[in-house]
Structure 1
Amino acid sequence: MLNWFRRQKYSDPAVVDTNQLSKDLLASLMVMAWFVEAKDPYTGGHLWRVSRYANLLARAGLLPEADVARITLGGFLHDLGKVAVPDAVLGKSGKLSDDEFAIIRTHPEAGGRLLAGHPLGHLVRPAVELHHERPDGKGYPYGLTAAMIPTDAAIVSICDAFDAMTSLRPYRQPLPLEKVLAILRQETGTQFNSFWCARFIDLAEQGAFTDILGHTDDGIPLHTCPHCGPTVVRQRHHHAGDVLACNLCHSEMRLVEQQGQLAVVATGKKAPADLQQPQADKVLIKNIIEASLAQIPITQLVRLSDASAV
């Protein structure tokens, strides 16, 4: 998994570049999480959006920069455990059965197990393993109550739920912002941490999320398939004339420039097989990692004694 970036050799522990090694280790996790997201055509950009919401919310709570950086990473990686959920369950368009929902509920604990032996797992494990816990004790996997839920998980929980409600789903259109905020107010103190939920609502009412809603990266909105809705993901390296695919129906889409903005038009053909396969957004992942690691003290990263064992 460490071959995603140009691999650096770490044969001599005395000259290990801990920062580069940390980037490689995080990349291995983030690429895995990205491919999990790509298996669900309705969640394009979900990890980036949750990460961005979490970043802004942590800053609004005046947390130290190292905490903000760690929570930003946790927001991107929160659904890592869904790699253990069967595709048939993860991508089901209809209502889940009780058994299928029980399988979905295993993903936070599965994520925790995946991180248990990872040198940087401690940075993001609270967000990954506990983001479905609730202050009223009705969450999962452990039924923790308010005082037991770490800040990272409390923040990511709100951001995850907000993005789910404001995004397209097979059974509904995105909910209007005001309706979502009303739900957050109603669930404050029960499903969501009161302090962080209040800060989140304040940010939303101030318009802080305008450039994140419906986007997959800074300045890059989800594009709309004429058959399926906003399901076409564009990466930063794409330009006018490039061909993309709808994540849902796999129709071929061509990027065109319209009034100075990029848009997609259907070509009337099925996308080639290679475009139907997910391609990790390497630039986006690299940018998140570098921005976050620049704020996290080296003492919180992988120990040099661990590096020789990688």
Structure 2
Amino acid sequence: MQASRDLLKTLYTMAMLVEARDAYTGGHLWRVSRYSQLLAEDLQLPQPEVERIALGGFLHDLGKIGVPDAVLNKPDKLSDEEYAVIKTHPRVGAELLRDHPLAELVIDAVLSHHETPDGNGYPQRLAGKAIPLAARVVGIADAFDAMTSTRPYRQGMPRDQALAIIGDRLGSQFDRELGQRFIALGHNGKLDHVLGHSQPGVPMQSCPGCGPIIAVPGDAEDGEDIFCPGCAGGYRLSRGSGALSLSPTGRSDPVQARQPRADDRLIESLLRDSRQLRSRGKPGLLELLFG
């Protein structure tokens, strides 16, 4: 079982290192994973399936490792040619996972999270229930987080505006039943503890010029220098009274700002969450796969 946990840890680590390349997606993987988990739980799926979908949410963008930095971090909207490059990431992610022992857990979410019920998605133009359940769940979570998060060319929109857009696109971009359930979760406040956070209890921090795009690592220490991934501006971290705050240092370091960093504390938290579920008598995904 330790070997299987180590394999799972490699997946989390790979995903985090890929996320670190994109200046404006700090915390995206954790949020998509948690939104996906909440929707899967609302469906009352078996615990192993909930875990599988949550893991798929964390791994869904793995293929962006194949997208050039110039495209991934372009400060304005993409051209048609650049968007075509972005659209390769589901297949790249699936290929990257092909020989991994745990690939079957997440391949549906990685390959198919941009498929849509009307058949106009990518990469395979699947439609309706031909799209795997995990991909339909993660696709909603991914879109909601994209809409509510700040990007170089726009501010993140309010929760209810994003939910309204999902509602307008039920049956076309989003699975109707799943979308309705997600909207209900949002209006009932069930998503609010995830919205605008990079991990449990850790809100995104704002840079005056770039907006709330700084994801403070869970293992960052009090007094540590943190850099904005957008402009590379430096900040001093304070953890006083349990609340995070950043104070400008006046120093800029583009190298440190873009340095990939796997958050070991967050990874251990994700693994611990799974173990705690199993300790309450619910068989987890890895037990069913490996015994």
Compute the TM-score of the two structures, normalised by the length of structure 1: 0.87
What corresponds to 2:131 in structure 1? 149
What corresponds to 1:29 in structure 2? 11
- Give, in whole Å, the separation in 2 of the partners of 1:57 and 1:100: 32
Which deviates more, 196-205 or 255-264?
255-264
CA RMSD of aligned residues (A): 1.8
- Give, in whole Å, the separation in 2 of the partners of 1:160 and 1:292: 22
Superposition deviation, residue 289 in structure 1: 3.2
Cα deviation code 1:43-95 (max 9, x no counterpart) = 10000000000111100011010100111100000001111111111111122
- Give, in whole Å, the separation in 2 of the partners of 1:26 and 1:109: 21
1:237 is aligned, of 215, 219, 226, to 219
- Give, in whole Å, the separation in 2 of the partners of 1:182 and 1:43: 22
Which amino acid in structure 2 is aligned with residue 165 of structure 1?
A: M
Change (3 A) 1:111 1:222: same
Are positions 1:178 and 2:160 aligned together? yes
The 5 Å alignment of 1:43-122 reads 43-122=25-104
- Give, in whole Å, the separation in 1 of the partners of 2:257 and 2:81: 33
Compute the TM-score of the two structures, normalised by the length of structure 2: 0.92
Cα deviation code 1:100-126 (max 9, x no counterpart) = 111111111111111221111000000
Superposition deviation, residue 239 in structure 1: 3.8
Change (3 A) 1:290 1:239: closer
Report runs of 4+ in structure 1 exceeding 6 Å deviation. Answer: none
- Give, in whole Å, the separation in 2 of the partners of 1:111 and 1:273: 26
- Give, in whole Å, the separation in 2 of the partners of 1:221 and 1:75: 19
- Give, in whole Å, the separation in 1 of the partners of 2:207 and 2:28: 18
User: What count of residue pairs does the alignment treat as equivalent?
Assistant: 284
Unaligned runs of 5+ in 1: 1-18, 304-310
Which amino acid in structure 1 is aligned with residue 17 of structure 2?
A: F
Superposition deviation, residue 99 in structure 1: 1.3
What corresponds to 2:203 in structure 1? 221
Unaligned runs of 5+ in 2: 279-283
- Give, in whole Å, the separation in 2 of the partners of 1:153 and 1:260: 37
Change (3 A) 1:271 1:215: same
- Give, in whole Å, the separation in 1 of the partners of 2:153 and 2:254: 28
Superposition deviation, residue 150 in structure 1: 1.0
- Give, in whole Å, the separation in 1 of the partners of 2:272 and 2:61: 21
1:281 is aligned, of 254, 263, 278, to 263
Structure ID, larger Rg: 1
Superposition deviation, residue 272 in structure 1: 7.9
